[in-house]
Amino acid sequence: MDRDRKVYQIVGFQNSGKTTLMESIINYWSKHDLKVGTIKHHGHGGKPRKRVAEKDTDKHLNAGASIVACEGEGELVLLKQNLNWSLVDIIQFYENFSLDFILIEGYKYEDYPKAVLIRGEEDTYLLDQLSNIQAILTWVPLKNTYPYKIFSIKQKEEFIKWLFTQYN
């Protein structure tokens, strides 16, 4: 599979249903024995709140380590400090793993194929600003027509099946 066919974005504003949709996609693909990696953009500023094994990993990072790995009970957590992590850098890192699909939550303005979640009519301006839109999932009827596949949020399962057929 080429890179662009392996990477897909779910974008929209806060509380539009991105995480719930991501969970459903991951569940569906996993039930079909496909390995899905995810990347989430922490778009609210600051560092993400949850840190695993904070004490020792933070000590290592504070001492100057460039990368820290922590393993326990089959779970591996990697922490790497970098002043500027681009989405391309993270995707390149994921290429080291045997993934069938990389699913991205956020990074609206990146140019990967994407589905846009529209919570209300006021969100539709995104459809004029974003690139590589493949589908829209909307909470409200849209006033305008768009050249994309359109699903009501109540058609989430249909969207997931459509995505599966498009990228598998």
Give the pLDDT mean for 95-105.
90
Read off the pLDDT of each residue in 61-67 and give the average, rounded to a whole number. Answer: 75
**The predicted structure's pLDDT at residue 74:** 82
When pLDDT is cut at 50, 70 and 90, the band that residue 4 belongs to is very low
Q: What is the CATH number of domain 3-49+83-167?
A: 3.40.50.300
Average of per-residue pLDDT across 97-102: 90
Among 113, 85, 102, which Cα is nearest to 11's? 113
Range of lowest pLDDT (9-23, 79-93, 94-108): 79-93
Residue environment code for 74-97, b if the CB has 16+ CB neighbours within 10 A, otherwise e: eeeeebeeeeeeebeebbeeeeee
Task: Give this prediction's pTM.
Answer: 0.84
Q: What is the pLDDT of residue 2?
A: 46
| Per-residue model confidence as pLDDT tens digits over 109-164 | 999 999 999 999 999 999 999 999 999 999 999 999 999 999 999 999 999 999 99
**Helix or strand (DSSP H, E) at 11:** strand 7-12
> Which helix (DSSP H) or strand (DSSP E) does residue 156 occupy?
helix 156-167
Q: Which pLDDT value is given to residue 83?
A: 60
Residue 50 has pLDDT above 70, yes or no: no
Q: How far is the C-alpha of 118 from the C-alpha of 88, rounded, in Å? A: 26
How many CA atoms within 13 Å lie on the side-chain side of 168? 15
What is the residue type of 24? S
What percent of the chain has pLDDT above 90? 60
Per-residue pLDDT of 31-48, as tens digits, reads 999 999 999 886 645 555
Instruction: Look at residue 51 in the predicted model and tell me its pLDDT.
Output: 53
Distance CA 93, CA 59 (A): 24
